[in-house]
Amino acid sequence: MQTSFTQMLKAREPVLLDREDGHWYQTKFDEIYPSINTILSATASEEKKNSLESWKENEPAHKYITEQAQYIGTQSHKMIEDYLQNKLSYDEFDLLPIAHFHNLKPYLENISDVVSIEQRMYSDKLKVAGTSDLIAQYNGELSIIDYKTKRKPQVDEYMYEYYLQTTCYAQMFQEVTGMKINQIVILVSSEKNTRQEFVKPCDEYIEPLNQRIENYYINNSLN
C-alpha cells in the first residue's frame, strides 16, 4: 500500500519555483500555488509579525543567527533523511547537527514504513502547495512528521503554526491518495539538550487552517 502511495505522490509532484516573494509551486497542469509557509507568514497575527520585527531591530546579529539556524536545520534534516534511508555518514556533518540528530534518535526509533521523504505536494481544492519532511508510520499510525531544531525548548502554543502547516500536508496527501491521515507529529531538538514530541490530531486544525487560507486569498484579491 505504501508503495502505491509513493508512486501517486511522485506522479503528481509539483515544481518549486525560484521567486523572491516566498515559495511557490507549479503543477503539471500549470497551476501556480503559494506554499503553506508563505500563506501562514502572510496571515500571521500582528502581534507575531511585530514581535519578529522587534527582534530584528534589537538584535544586530539577526541575519547571522537566522542563517546559522537555517544551516543547522538543513544539516539536521539531511542527517535524519540519510538515517531513514540507511545511508548515513557522519563525515559531511558539523558537530551541532550531529548532536541534534542523536538527541532526536530515540524518537526516530518510533518511525517505520516510510512513504516519502521531502515530498512536494499541492491541493487544487485549497490552492496551496508545500513540502512535507516525512510521511510514515509513527508508533504504528500513518502520520505527517516534521522535525525542528531550536535554540530553546518549546511550549505548545509556540507550535501552533507548525500544527497548521502539517495538517495542510495531511489534506494534500488525502487529496492525492484518498487516504486520510489523522495524526501530525512534530519532533523538536533544542541547543539546551532537550527533546520534545508533539503529537496532535489533524481534525483539530482543519477549520483554522481553512480560515487562514481563505483570509490569504481574500486579502490578496483586494490588493
> Does 64 map to a domain?
no
Which residue, 204, 94, 212, 121, is CA-closest to 156? 204
Residue 59 lies in a domain: no
Kind of pairing, strands 141-150 and 32-34?
unpaired
Confidence of residue 191 (pLDDT cuts 50, 70, 90): very high
Q: Judge whether 195 lies within some domain.
A: yes
Residue pair 100/113 in contact by the 8 Å Cβ criterion? no
Query: What does the pLDDT look like over 66-96, one tens digit per residue?
Result: 888 899 999 999 999 999 999 999 998 999 9
Residue 119 in domain: yes
CB 34 within 8 A of CB 24: yes
- Over 70: is that where the pLDDT of 1 sits? no
Tell me how many domains the chain contains: 1
Residue 191 belongs to some domain of the structure: yes
Is residue 181 situated within a structural domain? yes
Comparing C-alpha atoms, which of 200, 204, 42, 46 is closest to residue 128? 42
pLDDT value for 222: 60
The helix/strand/coil state of 50 is helix
pLDDT of residue 156: 94
223 has a pLDDT exceeding 60: no
Q: Which residue has the cell 539546551?
A: 192
Mean pLDDT of 126-140: 97
Stated pTM of the model? 0.93
Assigned C-alpha cell, 205? 486544525
Which residues constitute the domain of residue 27?
2-46+110-222
- Is residue 218 over pLDDT 80? yes
CA atoms of 6 and 59, how far apart (whole Å)? 43
- Phi and psi at residue 61, to the nearest 5°: -100, 25
Query: Which of 10-19, 43-52, 116-125, 138-147 comes out lowest in average pLDDT?
Result: 43-52
149-180 in b/e burial notation, b at 16+ Cβ within 10 A? bbeeebeeeebebbbbbbbbbbbbbeebbeee
| Single-letter amino acid, residue 98 | I
